[in-house]
Chains A and B, each alone.
Chain A
Amino acid sequence: MTGFRVLKGGILSLLQDTGRLRYQHLGVTRGGPLDAKSASWANRLLDNDPDAALIEVTAGGLELESRTQIMVAVTGGDLNLTLNGEPQPPWRSFWVRQGDRLKFGTPRYGFRAYLAVSMGFQTQPVLASRATVQRDQLGGLDGNGGALKAGDELPCGHLPEEPISREIPMQYLPEISQDIVLNLIPGYQQQDFSKEAWQTLWHSTYSLSQNSNRMGARLEGPAIVTPNKSFLSEGVSYGAVQVPANGQPIIMLEDRQTLGGYPKLGNILPLDGFRLAQCMPGAKIRFKPMSLAEGQQQMRRYLRFFGL
């Protein structure tokens, strides 16, 4: 089997596809790339199926050696990728030969890069998905939710000849910034939060905590007063902004637990969640309101564009 050999796993490098659907009622997390838009672009550059498996590289450090010849596309944050020592800026596809070395450095801008190969990585799916969810011990190369590590052999295809390389036109490049405003669609227990709590939310700037991970983006800043009652646990959807007793909001991301009982203000627009995935700890985060209709319209456009 042709593919790539992992020389260094880096800080956190995970195989992902669009995620493990239809098992949340059993407690199985969906998973999937945190910056799904960048991941979609990587597969689009290669004319891959939108569900093709790729690698999410968080904060850099991944090193690969090619045992095949194939097109590769890299999108998302710029993690100072080099090909045999030559810098490779993201948002384009390029040809990789047998023996070539790909090496991610440290972030130049953004926090997560996506590396796709023609036809995707061909690992064994678990519950119809290759997405790695470490907490659930599902997916990834070994099927048990492991991150990529030195010595792993990542299977993928082989192309007989080099296709034309492509790059994404400037006007489509997403804005990657460490100072972002998230659109919040009020929902869940919105009525249970006081006017004062909402004022705090709309008028404060939060900082992205170091304790953030693929389960949730934890924010630090002015405390939001929580409703003085307890709630039964309920299903938690993507982007839910939950507020535990300490008043510090947590935005629930792709590896979130399926159920949760903290009061929630609503959900952020998923497109903003993708931008959040490119924020480093310490990034500045603010909120503004968005209607459900507006949010759905933006998402419909995105899903249609990528054929999702």
Chain B
Amino acid sequence: MSSDAKSNANSLGAEKIAGEVAENSKRPEPTFVHAGVDAVLMQFGEQLDPCMPGFLASLRAQIIAELNDVVYEVVPSYASLLVYYEPRAIGTYDLEQVLNTIASDTPWLCSPWSADSGAPGKLVEVPIYYYELDDNVAENDMAFVCEQTGLARNEVIARHSGRDYQVYALGFAPGFAYLGALDKALQLPRLANPRKNIGAGSVGIAEAQTAVYPQASPGGWHIIGYSPFTWFEPKNHELTPVQVGDRIRFKAISKAEYEHAKAKNQAQLGGAV
């Protein structure tokens, strides 16, 4: 982890995200803490490692396959799995032993991701329209971001779309994917006063993270664009097109494509959002 990645502490601990694959990365040993009568938190250290999401995705799948009778929910985050279990079916200590064994049998594939590396996860392309400085959208922060970073809009776009992002976690709202790590030159603290409402599809940046708001919601991130991508669709067989362990590549689209996509989305929503 680089030492200059200090930024304001925030509840997601995103200041710990480094942009590069950690050298000599290896799987940390899990520790277990109780999380109530029917859950244990399995933690893999307190550092954020780009190799972790792929590992956690594999481990999660393995736990569900092997412990389907006693485990009913496994929630991955940056460096942990929250395992909900049925306390009538297994003792807490026994469960931890089994989880420990499954973890040590799960391979740590730590090469940088590529389609043929054998690492889990897929690469998903997400279209994004980067706002003009004067686009008349209530939450348009592009001018503010340029001013705060000292970068021109083109440079903001180049740095934001110029790298692939890891999906570190899904949370906050259905399909809200925490993506990292953001180029250091774009890292800004959150808004001091979060907005009460941010439109669906808004592309935000905060600290070392970026994400798209899947639905209208309050939010404290800086908004630099709009994406017509659907992150969560309860009617689809696959509810979210991305999962922890996948990678995201943003592709800039034109204003004409943006206006077309936005009109289409609004028609589908009946103009309700």
Contacts and interface: CB of A to CB of B under 8 A. Distances in A.
Contacts of A26: 170, 174-175, 232, 239-240, 243
Contact of B37 (A136, A236, A270): A270
Interface in B71-115: 72-82, 84, 87-88, 92
B171 interface: yes
B12 interface: yes
Contact of A261 (B12, B76, B88, B243): B12
A194 B92 CA distance: 26
Contact of A258 (B36, B72, B171, B240): B171
A299 B37 CA distance: 8
Given A27-B176, A233-B13, A185 B34 contact: yes
B38 interface: yes
B41 A188 contact: yes
- Determine which residue in B13, B35, B60, B74 has the highest number of CB atoms from chain A within 10 A of its CB, and name it: B35
Contact of A267 (B36, B79, B80, B244): B36
A226 B81 CA distance: 23
Contacts of A234: 41, 43, 77-80, 82
A186 interface: yes
B35 A237 contact: yes
A283 interface: no
A201 interface: no
A269 to B, nearest CB: 7
A219 interface: no
A126 B60 CA distance: 24
B222 interface: no
Contacts of A296: 37-38, 87, 92
Given A25-B244, A231-B46, A259 B35 contact: no
Nearest to A263: B11
Interface residues of B, number: 51
Given A232-B46, A233-B11, A296-B87, A269 B77 contact: no
A227 B72 CA distance: 31
Interface in A255-270: 257-262, 266-267, 269-270
Interface in B141-181: 169-176, 178
Contacts of A137: 215
Question: Which bracket fits the contact residues of A?
Answer: 35 or more
A260 B48 CA distance: 15
A165 interface: no
B77 A259 contact: yes
Given A21-B73, A232-B46, A235-B80, A267 B35 contact: yes
B78 to A, nearest CB: 4
A127 B238 CA distance: 11
Interface in A184-242: 185-190, 230-240
Contact of B13 (A232, A235, A258): A232
Given A25-B75, A26-B170, A26-B174, A240 B13 contact: no
A237 B72 contact: no
Contacts of A231: 13, 46
Interface in A146-190: 185-190
Interface string B26-55: 000000011111110101001010000000
Given A26-B239, A232-B48, A232-B80, A237 B39 contact: yes
Contact of B170 (A25, A143, A262): A25
Contacts of A136: 173-174
A18 to B, nearest CB: 12
B9 interface: yes
A267 B12 CA distance: 20
Given A126-B234, A232-B12, A234-B43, A292 B92 contact: yes
Nearest to A245: B9
Interface in B199-243: 215, 217, 232, 234, 239-240, 243
Contacts of B79: 232, 234
A257 B171 contact: yes
A299 B43 contact: no
Given A21-B72, A230-B15, A266 B174 contact: no
B183 to A, nearest CB: 21
Nearest to B46: A232
B247 interface: no
B171 A27 contact: yes
Contact of B169 (A233, A237, A269): A233
Contact of A127 (B11, B35, B234): B234
A61 to B, nearest CB: 25
Nearest to B16: A232
A23 interface: yes
Interface of A: 21-28, 126-127, 135-138, 143, 185-190, 230-240, 244, 257-262, 266-267, 269-270, 292, 295-296, 299-300, 303-304
26 contacts: A21-B72, A24-B73, A27-B175, A27-B240, A28-B239, A126-B234, A185-B36, A187-B34, A189-B33, A230-B15, A231-B46, A232-B13, A233-B77, A233-B169, A234-B82, A235-B76, A237-B36, A237-B41, A239-B36, A258-B170, A258-B172, A261-B12, A262-B11, A266-B34, A295-B37, A299-B87
Given A22-B73, A27-B176, A267-B37, 4 more contacts: A23-B239, A24-B73, A136-B173, A233-B171
